[in-house]
Each structure stands twice: as structure tokens, then as C-alpha cells.
């Protein structure tokens, strides 16, 4: 049973436009959510996170939105840049448990 | 030097070989992890070590054997692997405190079993 789902395996966005990556989860115990970015031949790097006490967290061009009632979160990148082309993983955990549960990833391609 | 270092970066081994993957973290973290990434699958957590004690083993076959001699080093010993074990193996570390925190990953070891 996949507890964290990224239903779009790939996404293409024009440079300068907004990229929106989506993630759904099923475990209501999750209270901390993270986005990681992964380039080929490298490990995932942490991008941004959000706690369940918030519904939005912003860091520069990256904003994560959390909708707890829908068990849905999204990552917005604006404006999108060619260097943003990578695979993006959504991950979740719950308080007191250091284990991260990951989605399958979405490959984002920014078109110049 | 990067925060989490994995060696080797690439490994090709036969099914009868024995090899080890090494991970070292320079971040002063107290938890370390092994993850497996196969094509089109989520990152799968294999093992968790918290303060050098193994706290989780996600039903991993015994042909994978982890070792954590101290809080900075983590090994994954491999023996009699199968071709389906070919994957990217990622090590990560984090500081386990009262609040949640992110994990930092190494660059991974691309393992091919022939």
C-alpha cells in the first residue's frame, strides 16, 4: 500500500511559467512533509518542508501548500528555470518517527 | 567535503561475490539510513540506525547486512545478491530531535548484479 502518491510521473513547463507538482497521502498520522529534488547520478537534496500546523510555507521561488482535509500537498515553483529540471520527490513522516515515506517522484522538464 | 559521502559510486558484482557499501556523514547527526531506489518505484527504506542501534529493518532479505560501528559510519554488506537487487542504494542521515527534521542524502551507489 503506497502511502504517499505522486500520480504524475512527468511534467513539462515553459521557462518563466509556474510549475505545480502534486502529492497525495493516505496516512492521517503524517504531520511533516518534505520535497526533495534529485538530479541524475546524485542523491536527493532537501528543498522545502511544511509542518501540519501550517498550510503554506514559502522559500524564494518555492512554495509548498498543504491541504490536510484533502490529504494533498503541492509544490509551486515560480518562475521556473532550466536548472529546475529534475525529479521531485514528495516525502512524509510523523512526529517521533524518523522514517520518511517517499512518493515515486515526478520528472519536471523546463522548456527554454 | 560533502555532508554525506558514499563509496563506491558504481559497483558491478557477480551473484556469488561479497562486497560492502560504505557511508560516512560529517554532519554530527545521530541517525543513519539505507534506502533503495529501483526504477519507477518509491524510495524504499531498508534500515534505520538511531544512536548506532538498529531501530528498523523493513523486511529486507538477509543477503543485505547493515553495520553501524559509530554514529558517523554505516555499511551495507552484500552477499549472494540477485539481479533484481540492481538499484541505486542511498545512504542518508538526520538529527533526530523532538521536532521533525529533514534527512540529508549521499550521492548513492549504483549497484549492478550480473
Nearest-Cα residue of chain A relative to residue B107:
A43
Return d(Cα B94, Cα B87) in angstroms, integer.
23
* Whole-number pLDDT of residue A57: 97
Nearest-Cα residue of chain B relative to residue A40:
B107
Query: From the list A89, A95, A98, which residue is nearest B48 (CB)?
Result: A98
DSSP track, B56-87: EE-S--TTEEEEEEETTEEEEEEES--GGG-E
In our burial notation (b when 16+ CB lie closer than 10 A, e otherwise), range A78-111 reads eebeeebbbbbbbbbbbeebbbbbbbbbbebebe
* Whole-number pLDDT of residue B95: 86
Nearest-Cα residue of chain B relative to residue A90:
B42
* Whole-number pLDDT of residue B50: 83
Q: What pairing do the DSSP bridges indicate for beta strands A19-25 and A4-5? A: antiparallel
Average the pLDDT over A75-100 and give the result: 91
pLDDT, mean of each 10-residue run, chain B (114 residues): 88 93 94 89 88 77 93 95 94 79 91 94
Please list every residue in chain A whose beta carbon sits closer than 8 Å to the beta carbon of residue B94. 98
pLDDT band at A41 (very low <50, low <70, confident <90, very high): confident
* Whole-number pLDDT of residue A66: 97
Pick the more confident residue, A52 or A99. A52
**Residues A9-23 pLDDT 10s:** 999 999 999 999 999
Q: Do A43 and B90 touch (CB under 8 A)?
A: yes
In angstroms, what separates the C-alpha of A104 from chain B's closest C-alpha? 4
Return d(Cα A19, Cα A108) in angstroms, integer.
8
Q: Do B42 and A104 touch (CB under 8 A)?
A: yes
Please list every residue in chain B whose beta carbon sits closer than 8 Å to the beta carbon of residue A45. 105
Q: Are B21 and B76 in contact (CB under 8 A)?
A: yes
Amino acid at each position: 500500500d503506497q502511502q504517499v502518491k505522486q500520480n504524475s510521473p512527468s511534467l513539462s513547463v515553459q521557462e518563466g511559467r509556474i510549475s505545480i507538482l502534486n502529492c497525495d497521502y493516505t496516512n492521517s498520522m503524517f504531520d511533516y512533509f518534505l520535497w526533495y529534488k534529485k538530479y541524475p547520478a546524485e542523491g536527493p537534496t532537501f528543498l522545502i518542508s511544511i509542518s501540519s500546523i501550517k498550510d503554506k510555507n514559502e522559500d524564494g521561488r518555492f512554495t509548498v501548500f498543504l491541504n490536510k482535509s484533502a490529504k494533498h500537498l503541492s509544490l509551486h515553483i515560480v518562475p521556473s528555470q532550466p536548472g529546475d529540471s529534475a525529479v521531485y520527490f514528495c516525502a512524509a513522516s510523523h512526529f517521533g518517527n524518523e522514517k520518511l515515506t517517499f512518493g515515486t517522484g515526478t520528472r519536471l522538464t523546463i522548456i527554454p | 567535503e560533502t555532508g554525506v559521502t558514499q563509496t563506491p559510486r558504481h559497483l558491478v558484482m557477480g551473484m556469488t561475490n561479497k562486497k560492502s557499501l560504505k557511508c560516512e556523514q560529517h554532519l554530527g547527526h545521530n541517525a543513519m539510513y539505507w534506502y533503495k531506489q529501483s526504477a519507477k518505484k518509491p524510495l524504499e527504506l531498508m534500515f534505520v540506525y538511531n544512536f548506532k542501534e538498529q531501530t528498523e529493518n523493513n523486511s529486507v532479505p538477509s543477503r543485505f547486512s547493515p553495520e553501524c560501528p559509530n554514529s558517523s559510519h554505516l555499511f551495507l554488506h552484500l552477499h549472494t545478491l540477485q539481479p533484481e537487487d540492481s538499484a541505486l542504494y542511498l545512504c542518508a542521515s538526520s538529527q533526530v530531535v523532538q521536532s521533525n527534521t529533514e534527512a540529508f542524502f549521499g550521492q548513492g551507489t549504483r549497484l549492478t548484479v550480473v
